[in-house]
Structure 1
């Protein structure tokens, strides 16, 4: 059985955000790799003008060179990239966790949520995620005693261009009527203040325009940090079980 998994991280994060998920998938026999955004993931060296098309091209090139077509798992912007990749036939299945939605799904809501980022960043700049915003919008369910440690460990600068493109629907089009799309699972956190569960549910309904397999699950009590906060195991286990049920389709 093909057990290769590629993890794609969110904006402002690094591959380290997947450490817990990788340990769970590895324990279940999967061959896991978390691939950083180009050119490297240390925050200081990311391309200022990095956009969605460049990100998709980056992952397409890597996946095309793999001996086996992998399962793709993405979080936030990584979840949007997963949807773009499998829509183009890259990936045997996709799991998008609290994903930024493709073009056309409540763009006004996404633009409103991104306003603080867009106002203070130029198109070719990098933008910081403040600890205050991390605590309020990303990881509000994490205990106060752990939140600063998580912020210092995981958060880096992100290219501003991707936020403009997501808000304006640039390079984020998915063919929701693509009947040949591989199976896709969309996961949401009920308490997510960054990518609201209602936005993920709307994303799910749009994918119903095709006959390709699509599934949705919302986890009570979870924030946008559902891949690493308390009870992250239930999210990982659900993802693994879904992937196992899809194995006959691969």
Structure 2
């Protein structure tokens, strides 16, 4: 008879968002590793190894858009039999949903995710947070860095000025403007890269997390994303963190969010299982 497959640690892939370097995930990597997971946090295409190096030469990010970022992570995952769990923040949360919807992930946690196509609300705080890029059409093809003041409004509004400035100094990098323009126009573009099949029948579970004081991706936006998934055949869960802003993955309260993600994975039986697929044909037909 066939013997049961030997369990193996599940790989968790972390994806950062716009303006933040992948090294900001270090506390999460340590925590998830201690919980028995294999972990990694590769940067976007064009990111350099450190914050300092990327600040010194962000030219590799010029013109990088949503599709290129998705392909980058899909290539890193490859065609192997094991599908990772993907945890993403901000635009990383959008990418995590893309990877899940196309069969590259076994499950996804999307934290304050950039809105997908079909979200029809645009709160003022979201518009203001994006103005450093969207205010100049030329930024579509280049990278843009936030000032400490702009970061405080977009990320650190629920923090003290001292903590916000410390996060700005530690983790911020210039970000490509193209993803913001693509997301802002998603509802007007037929084949927008921000399109996700919210009713895909064969995807794994998804957890959407929001901070109630988030300026960049307000709670109402993440709630609207959750409504788009409602009624679909796959599991979509939603959690709110009261009084938290867009910095919730890296500020002093990050552990609360990380523990919630870990507990959710445990609830879904994703802490021990090995996920397999018979081949690339099991993925959704639309390529990344």
TM-score by length of 1: 0.93
Kindly indicate whether residue 154 of structure 2 is the aligned counterpart of residue 137 of structure 1: yes
Q: Does 1:90 align with 2:104?
A: yes
- Return the alpha-carbon distance in structure 2 between the equivalents of residues 108 and 188 of structure 1: 16
2:261 is the counterpart of 1:236: no
**Separation of aligned partners in 1, 2:46 and 2:150:** 26
TM-score between both structures, scaled by the size of structure 2: 0.82
Deviations 1:147-200 (A, max 9, x none): 222101111111111110010113110111212121000000011111001110
* Structure 1 contact 227–235 (Cα < 8 Å) conserved: yes
Q: For the Cα contact (< 8 Å) 1:20–1:227, is it kept in 2?
A: no
* Aligned 8 A contact 2:14 2:40 in 1: yes
Deviates more, 1:40-49 or 1:225-234: 40-49
1:243 & 1:121 partners in 2: Cα distance? 41
Partner of 1:223: 245
Distance 2:254 2:161 in 1: 17
Residues 1:108 and 1:55: Cα distance change in structure 2 (over 3 Å)? same
Distance 1:167 1:205 in 2: 19
Instruction: Evaluate the alpha carbon distance shift between residue 112 and residue 144 of structure 1 in structure 2; reply closer, same or farther with a 3 A threshold.
Output: closer
Decide whether the 8 Å contact of 1:84 with 1:174 is kept in 2.
Answer: yes
Judge which range, 224-233 or 51-60, deviates more.
224-233
- 1:214 maps to what in 2? 236
Candidates 26, 50, 66, aligned match of 1:52: 66
Counterpart of 1:180 in structure 2 is 202
Q: Is 75-84 or 20-29 further displaced after alignment?
A: 20-29
Equivalent residues, number: 250
Q: Is contact 2:89-2:113 (8 Å) kept? A: yes
Which residue of the partner structure matches residue 43 of structure 2?
A: 36
**Is the 8 Å Cα contact of residues 109 and 261 (structure 2) preserved in structure 1?**
yes
- 1:128 matched to 2:145? The reply is yes
- Structure showing greater radius of gyration is 2
Residue 103 of structure 1 is matched in structure 2 by 117
8 Å CA contact retained: 1:91, 1:182:
yes
- Say if 2:267 is the partner of 1:245: yes
Q: Give the whole-Å Cα distance in 1 for the aligned partners of 2:177 and 2:220.
A: 25
Kept in 2: contact 1:121–1:127 (CA 8 A): no
Give the RMSD, CA atoms, in angstroms: 1.8
Alignment partners' CA distance in 2, 1:7 and 1:242: 16
Q: Report if the CA contact (8 A) 1:52-1:162 is conserved.
A: yes
1:205 equivalenced with 2:227 (yes/no): yes
The CA deviation string for residues 12-37 of structure 1, in whole angstroms up to 9 with x for no partner, is: 11111211221221121111100100
Q: Which runs of 5+ in 2 are unaligned?
A: 1-6, 49-53, 187-191, 276-288
Match of 2:127 in 1: 112
